[in-house]
């Protein structure tokens, strides 16, 4: 089984919205073969809580406006360290860079096929490490690229 056309449409729009809000290390996985509850995961990160919220708000607004999709669940708003948007067909994870490194979701889903993303989203790969280097933060524990 593979992700549906609708799931890919949602992932593509969400990835572009995240890239437009300067998310780091955007990646999507087709998890339909290993999970029965959703088709795909989108992962993105940001270096601060305010940007995490901004990315999530943009994704939510864009999917609603362009595709008529609203999340059935939104979790993690209080701390804005890891916000999850559940659209049933897809699940979007936007994490603070520190949480992204610590939880390393890429390691959990690395055996699942990666979904193609818009060029703007692909260009975000390695941005977390680049940002950490510029700010002197330590990102060496995670595999974000």
pLDDT digit string, tens, across residues 34-58: 999 999 999 999 999 999 999 999 9
Backbone angles phi and psi of 95, in degrees to 5: -120, 150
Q: Is 94 helix (H, G, I), strand (E, B) or coil?
A: strand
Is the per-residue pLDDT at 28 higher than 60? yes
pTM assigned to the model: 0.88
Q: Which of 29-33, 69-73, 129-133 has the lowest mean pLDDT?
A: 129-133
Helix (H, G, I), strand (E, B) or coil at 122: helix
**pLDDT by residue (tens digit) across 114-140?**
999 999 999 998 877 776 676 665 544
């Amino acid at each position: 089984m593979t992700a549906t056309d609708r799931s890919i449409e949602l992932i593509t729009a969400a990835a572009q919205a995240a890239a437009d809000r300067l998310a780091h290390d955007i990646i999507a996985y087709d998890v339909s073969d290993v999970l029965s509850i959703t088709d795909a995961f989108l992962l993105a990160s940001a270096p601060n809580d305010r940007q995490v919220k901004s990315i999530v708000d943009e994704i939510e607004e864009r999917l609603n406006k362009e595709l008529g999709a609203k999340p059935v669940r939104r979790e993690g708003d209080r701390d804005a360290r890891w916000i999850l948007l559940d659209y049933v067909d897809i699940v979007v994870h936007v994490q603070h860079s520190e949480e992204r490194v610590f939880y390393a979701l890429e390691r959990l889903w690395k055996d699942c096929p990666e979904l193609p993303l818009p060029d703007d989203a692909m260009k975000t790969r390695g941005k977390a490490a680049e940002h950490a280097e510029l700010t002197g933060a330590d990102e060496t524990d995670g595999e974000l690229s």
